[in-house]
Structure 1
Amino acid sequence: MGDYVYPSLKSRIKTEYKIYLLALLFIAAADSIGQIQIPLGPGKFILFPIFYSLILGILSGPQVTKIIGSRQVKAASKLVIVAICPFIAKLGINAGASLEVVLSAGPALILQEFGNLGTILLAMPLALLLGLKRESVGATHSINRESNLALITDMYGPDSPEARGSLSIYIVGGMVGTIYFGFMVSVIAVLGIFHPYALGMASGVGAGIMMASATASLAEIYPAMADQISALASASETISGIDGIYMTIFLGIPLCNFLYRKLEPKLGRIADQRVEKRAKGKGDRS
């Protein structure tokens, strides 16, 4: 038994050591840069350190600079869930310490989580039309932050199509979603349709960096209400982290699976035909 385990561990260390070294360098570089705030109209774009880390990771991959190869990429995909486990534990501790906030928040903050189900109705057909298969379930069941990525990995496994879809949206959300969220809330605030408190509540969607980006823009637009907006956003974020996971388990994922069974035979065929047509066109040109 000892002869079997040791070579396996040695092989893993040989494969993964570069991942750990690069991760440490990327974290140090991103942390030294810090936040970058770019004024835009009444609000602002905010670039967080996670954005720089993701960009550096992409640039080091086998499709760009080839600092790391395909073996390291495959190994790193399984390490994601290990890396975020401490953060998941922190979410649970914070939630337990904030039960009074949850109980006193009222029905508006709790019921807002149903809004996530509405996004599934829009996102699932689009994902199927783009050619995704089972990846669409992982990609569209939520905004896919740490707790959702951990849930999908636990339910379907780290090598599953669902986990790949969830991880893809996790990465895109960290890079593009944060910038978009801060800009979107600025545009909506200017329209004057919703009360600033409602916008603060809507900022807490279960993603800390997105909440920070949105509340920073709102604080610039409504400086007199900045403290109240921040408090409502924090309460909403806490509740989203608690009831959001149960909403996903009992409603979000079952709804995604139901829509996939109903829509994939039709929409998937359209996507396949488009791919075949494109491939045929390239063949004719060659």
Structure 2
Amino acid sequence: MGKLKTVVVKYWKVYAAALVIAVICDLIGTVKLNIGIGTLTIFPMVFATIIGGILGPDAFKLFKVPESRLGGSLVLVVLAPFMAKMGVSAGANLSKLVSVGPALILQEFGNLGTILFSLPIALFLGLKKEAIGACYSVNRDSNLGLTTDIYGPDAPETRGTFAVYIVGCVIGTVFLSILASVVASFDILHPLALGMASGIGAGSMMTAAAGTLGEIYPQYAEDILVMGGASDMLTGITGIYMGTFVGLPLTRKLYAILEPRIGRIINKEAN
């Protein structure tokens, strides 16, 4: 209890600011914008991310770096009730999950497709071994721990993973909201398939994507959230093994093949 009191007294600004930001963003509510190719749904959490970033050490400097780091670590705490709700919803809809069980498991292999797309782009942008850590997965908490454990905290692969981790924290929810809206506007995939695709192993990003899809397909809103939550949970469980035994080895192999070729192209254009 004494330790908890010390932390609260030391970081009281973080808790006070979180309460004020939560109230402001709740008053703003959900904002829908027509962007031509679809409807962009912006949730209160996006506004909270923007306001928090403005108040951080790089802008208005209301918070110092240690206080900002504490705020980042508390994200998992505030997401815990939401993930508990996902577990309750999944249990209540167990028959639906069983009926699509193979799809939920196999969709993890779909995440590997991004390696083929992102790695060449990263190499053309001039990244070296950083591209391995940046491209082998979606790079959330478990992936950051995996890369750090394998390569060490100062390795270029770890820097690549950490860079994507930070970018995901800042703009991940906005990007997933836009992407979900755009893909849904094509009206090609079933809403439940899109709900499964929302579960990438990051609770906040899944919430943003599934929430946007729920607004677009209100008749499937609950099922989309259930599928997204189950998929997100499975990705968190299986993702670490997929990254260890498939993602990283595949990315390293492709890097060894592509880097010399793309490097020669870049050097030729530079000369």
CA contact (8 A) 2:54 2:60 kept: no
Q: Does 1:254 align with 2:249?
A: yes
Q: CA 1:48–1:147 in 2, change beyond 3 Å: closer, same or farther?
A: farther
Identify which of 9, 34, 37 aligns with 2:30.
37
Pairs aligned (count): 243
SS at match of 2:229: helix
Measure how far apart 1:178 and its partner are: 1.4
Give distance in 2, aligned partners of 1:65 and 1:217.
31
Structure 1 stretch displaced more, 128-137 or 45-54: 45-54
CA contact (8 A) 2:55 2:61 kept: no
Q: Which runs of 4+ in 1 moved over 6 A?
A: 20-26, 64-68, 84-87, 97-103
Give distance in 2, aligned partners of 1:219 and 1:243.
26
Measure how far apart 1:190 and its partner are: 2.0
Query: Could you tell me which residue of structure 2 aligns to residue 7 of structure 1?
Result: none
Give distance in 2, aligned partners of 1:67 and 1:48.
17
Question: Cα deviations across residues 230-268 of structure 1 (Å, max 9, x unaligned)?
Answer: 111111111111111111110000011111111111213
User: Identity of aligned pairs, percent?
Assistant: 44
Give distance in 1, aligned partners of 2:238 and 2:47.
26
Query: Could you tell me which residue of structure 2 aligns to residue 177 of structure 1?
Result: 172
Structure 1 stretch displaced more, 33-42 or 168-177: 33-42
TM-score norm. by structure 2 comes to: 0.74
Query: Could you tell me which residue of structure 2 aligns to residue 49 of structure 1?
Result: 48
* 1:19-168 to 2 correspondences below 5 Å: 30-31=21-22, 33-34=24-25, 37-41=30-34, 42-46=39-43, 47=46, 49-57=48-56, 60-61=57-58, 83=73, 104=98, 106-168=101-163
Give distance in 1, aligned partners of 2:186 and 2:267.
40
CA contact (8 A) 1:204 1:211 kept: yes
SS at match of 1:181: helix
CA contact (8 A) 1:54 1:171 kept: no
Query: Could you tell me which residue of structure 2 aligns to residue 245 of structure 1?
Result: 240
Q: What stretches of structure 2 of length at least 5 have no aligned partner?
A: 1-10
Question: Cα deviations across residues 216-235 of structure 1 (Å, max 9, x unaligned)?
Answer: 11111111211111111111
CA contact (8 A) 2:140 2:165 kept: yes
Measure how far apart 1:33 and its partner are: 4.2
The one-letter code of the counterpart of 1:217 is: T
Give distance in 1, aligned partners of 2:118 and 2:197.
19
CA contact (8 A) 1:51 1:174 kept: no
Q: CA 1:65–1:220 in 2, change beyond 3 Å: closer, same or farther?
A: closer
Query: Could you tell me which residue of structure 2 aligns to residue 196 of structure 1?
Result: 191
Tell which structure's C-alpha radius of gyration is larger: 1
Give distance in 2, aligned partners of 1:54 and 1:243.
32
Q: CA 1:229–1:163 in 2, change beyond 3 Å: closer, same or farther?
A: same
TM-score norm. by structure 1 comes to: 0.71
